[in-house]
Structure 1
């Protein structure tokens, strides 16, 4: 029952506890010496009786101190222990009063007996509170085991020792005399039941209290046996009670010096509770055999005891069944909880990323077999970092949990929502096409931004969200055999939603139209740009440059105003070629120096046309610089690095890519791989490295391709 390692380590570490232990052992040695002296000088019983009170007085004082300094359940236990020890001391004082003040021994039944027995009555709940089980069913089983053990041992003790010693007409004094061993048995069996209940860790003070009560129970039994055997020399049993008092004192010191946590339960490694069953069975068998040997019918008392034993055994088995049923239920619940935790996010309660990835694979296979579409919505909370920075991460956690609930409310029962990472969520929509997915995404966006999110303390925050939608399957660009690419498509659409000003839903299938991006684009110059494209190649050029430039700008996270300039500049960057002779534009042979000079004037001419005819001076500086190089070797002004507007740096890469992939009079179209190699070679010299990297990432993701399908109409 006790944890000797804990107690031993405590004794080694605590100097005061070592001193107290030494004093206690020293006192026991002194008391044994006094007993020997009293045996030699028989009339000098005061030599033993008065010092006998010393450790009891000390134990009472220390117990009261422990009750004051401890807390919680431990304080309740020490309050009961202090009361029990005080009752014991009062009983001893009454006994000394009768013996040395009145000059005669106490009567057969005196008030001293009342205090002695009362101390036992208080001791039992002290054991159960301080050391006993905290589990309801286990607590009941412990009490029942204690009852069976006490009844069994009491029955055996009654048959073997007490019943043969009782006179034919027992008096009250006889019953009082045998009440002591019965209480001793009760205390020992209570300790046994507590031990059978099991502990994860028993505090040092509890181990010492348990040892003290165990010594007291054994001593009481020995004393009762000596009285029954008419052994008048019972002074040596006083040593047991002295040991009890010393152990109680040491327990109080341990509680005062080290207020340890309360004892906790541990799972049983083996079922030691079979011990009460065996003893109860032996007691019942002994009763039946004893009555049969008397060759008489079973007496009423025997029947009552047998019924009590059998009732206790039956009740205990019912409790075991109930306990096992409860444990099985708890185990099933724990397993279900473990399964739930394995697939859900602990903060928001929605599914986790791992579960989403598995469901994406399963739903993609199912949609491919059924030839139905599969859509995905990627959700990112706009500027969520401001919530964490301004209100703290706990407030951010509250926001994420509430946002998850709003997202769930906007989905269908067949949809799956998961936390994708940080402030990102992802929704899987089986059977939903792009139009339905965008509609659901818009409902979610409105649900997130409609009402402020309460974060406690009367505070709230307003949030918006950006959503990217991607669809695979029927009539969608992305095949269902590439579910991972669906996430990339949604991610790219989400980037566009962020770049376009946040708080909106963008679908990957929605191509960006530069005219929609900037409705103030001069229609006449747009028409002129198309005519110039048709002179040079059979494929689109300025429209493709504009679209690809917009994607790069979105990927780099530029603001909306800059994004509009990028799209417009990409669409009109070559209008200045109107001043270049057709012969120069269509010449297959190398250009002369004069022809190169004429061609290099077209960026400045584009800027002039935008300023004078298009009333768009904001675009003039961009188109004027789209042939500048990052290392400063470009034209017309030789600008370098950050001197070149970011819009022009982006258009430069898209323009070069479109030119390399188209058949021109002076060169045949390159392959995508060859064009990619040229962009990589020009990284840091011709092109801004960051822009080049963003552009090539879009190429790798399939968002930027070739010009094969981008034919333009013939000029009118």
Structure 2
């Protein structure tokens, strides 16, 4: 057994023993305070276990875990008040002070999950947000039809009790949205993520069972097995904090957008089909159909799915014209842009400039430092070329270590100045290739013409590049021969 896993194993062993004791003591008919003691032990221990795991493993960003600690402290305090209220009177007069503490728990744990999401995903990750909203609309419809509507229509419940009991499914729904967002968003996968999601899923499931059982049985809820599931949920949360993977859990993902995997699409398909499923279930139960609500939910989900489809199409379009290594435009995109610009120049008579840029001695870099170092050089050169480019230009990776720059409305004098700017930008600072600093230079071939032929322009710039390399590299050369004009 690995040395850094002993605390997690000890915690899980204590959790299993506590769950078994909770069930056995209840079946043996012991006093209420005795039977509930194992549950309270887990409830009180959980925040300190999370704190111990956070301080032991020292994740780079600890704010989310400290929020988890605060949330579980509120949860333990609320459990204490609930047990005392049940032991002293056996009747709940809602809202109780425990309810306020439980509400604070929900808000704190939601803040922690939201912080994890923001740490793990770059930008706003709009696709995951839309997917989570689709699931939320579906879950919200189910919650309203089968939970909130029966609660609000119960004439025997006073208004404060209705509001209090209605707040729990709404807060559970908020937590569900964040859990789905965490599950399907970008970010590193691993045991910590699955333990945290397992804890949230168990908590949401047992809360829902408790509420539904309360509605159906009129308050006659047997809490023994519900307590066991609550304890399992708390145990998984503590295990997540004790796991060594917590150090990498909220590491920022390098993936800009999540994949539209079969599992992800399956979740969305089930969520979308829930609305007609609810309609059929209500019809079978003989309940009155709420046509505006169901129709509105279907319309919202349809619009969200259309937005998601538009995002997928846009992502595929961007991927088709973007080089995966450097983030620059592809050769195909550049060829289309060059042809279009030459046709516009033929109509208007404005000059078009073209630069062909090649990394000097790139094979030596690959052979001497390895292909990962070569890839890092290409990425850094691409970044510097982008930084030095002008508005309206196109910077593309033409192939291998060769780059091209399209400069509309640029004559020969301006083009040579631009070529020198690119060359000096690349050569100005060494490139960090994983601890080693490597000097990198480029050779630049330039060609410009009024109303040019695109093939002739590209050939002239290419010949100028060869001339720059033949002259010793790390220099810019302007094509001497005039570029033929486009034939009418």
TM more than 0.5: yes
Decide whether the 8 Å contact of 1:142 with 1:193 is kept in 2. Answer: yes
Match of 1:115 in 2: 101
In 2: Cα distance, 1:355 partner to 1:190 partner? 43
Greater Rg over alpha carbons, structure? 1
Decide whether the 8 Å contact of 1:131 with 1:206 is kept in 2. Answer: no
In 2: Cα distance, 1:342 partner to 1:217 partner? 59
Structure 2 gaps, min length 5: 335-354, 360-377, 386-394, 403-429, 431-435, 451-456, 483-488
Q: Taking CA–CA contacts closer than 8 Å with sequence separation of 6 or more, which of the two structures ends up with the larger relative contact order? A: 2
In 2: Cα distance, 1:356 partner to 1:87 partner? 58
Map 1:446-465 to 2 at 5 A: none
Does residue 465 of structure 2 align to residue 417 of structure 1?
Answer: yes
Map 1:195-344 to 2 at 5 A: 195-197=183-185, 199=187, 201-230=188-217, 231-254=220-243, 258-259=247-248, 262=251, 264=253, 265=255, 267-270=259-262, 272-284=264-276, 286-287=278-279, 290=282, 303-304=292-293, 306-334=295-323, 337=329, 339=331, 344=358
In the superposition, the TM-score normalised over structure 2's length comes to 0.62
Does residue 47 of structure 2 align to residue 60 of structure 1?
Answer: yes
Aligned-residue offset at 1:47: 0.9
Structure 1 gaps, min length 5: 1-11, 358-387, 433-716
Superposed CA deviations along residues 281-319 of structure 1, whole A, max 9, x for unmatched, are 4325634884899797x75xx524532441243034224
Decide whether the 8 Å contact of 2:43 with 2:76 is kept in 1. Answer: yes
DSSP-derived class of the 1:121 partner: helix
Superposed CA deviations along residues 575-631 of structure 1, whole A, max 9, x for unmatched, are xxxxxxxxxxxxxxxxxxxxxxxxxxxxxxxxxxxxxxxxxxxxxxxxxxxxxxxxx
Match of 1:149 in 2: 135
Rate the CA distance shift 1:255–1:91 in 2: closer, same or farther, 3 A: farther
In 2: Cα distance, 1:256 partner to 1:325 partner? 34
In 1: Cα distance, 2:449 partner to 2:275 partner? 69
In 2: Cα distance, 1:61 partner to 1:356 partner? 54
Aligned-residue offset at 1:111: 1.6
Does residue 168 of structure 2 align to residue 180 of structure 1?
Answer: yes
Map 1:463-542 to 2 at 5 A: none
In the superposition, the TM-score normalised over structure 1's length comes to 0.44
Decide whether the 8 Å contact of 1:66 with 1:256 is kept in 2. Answer: no
Map 1:74-113 to 2 at 5 A: 74-99=61-86, 106-113=92-99
Does residue 34 of structure 2 align to residue 20 of structure 1?
Answer: no
**Number of corresponding residues:** 374
In 2: Cα distance, 1:38 partner to 1:175 partner? 32
Rate the CA distance shift 1:50–1:288 in 2: closer, same or farther, 3 A: closer
In 1: Cα distance, 2:210 partner to 2:137 partner? 20
Rate the CA distance shift 1:260–1:142 in 2: closer, same or farther, 3 A: closer
Aligned-residue offset at 1:273: 3.4
Map 1:646-661 to 2 at 5 A: none
Match of 1:379 in 2: none
DSSP-derived class of the 1:344 partner: strand
Rate the CA distance shift 1:135–1:308 in 2: closer, same or farther, 3 A: farther
DSSP-derived class of the 1:108 partner: coil
Decide whether the 8 Å contact of 1:120 with 1:183 is kept in 2. Answer: yes
Match of 1:39 in 2: 27
Aligned-residue offset at 1:109: 1.7
Decide whether the 8 Å contact of 2:121 with 2:185 is kept in 1. Answer: no
Superposed CA deviations along residues 304-351 of structure 1, whole A, max 9, x for unmatched, are 453244124303422430343144124303276454899732559799
In 2: Cα distance, 1:270 partner to 1:76 partner? 34
DSSP-derived class of the 2:465 partner: strand
Map 1:533-612 to 2 at 5 A: none
DSSP-derived class of the 1:333 partner: coil
Match of 1:129 in 2: 115
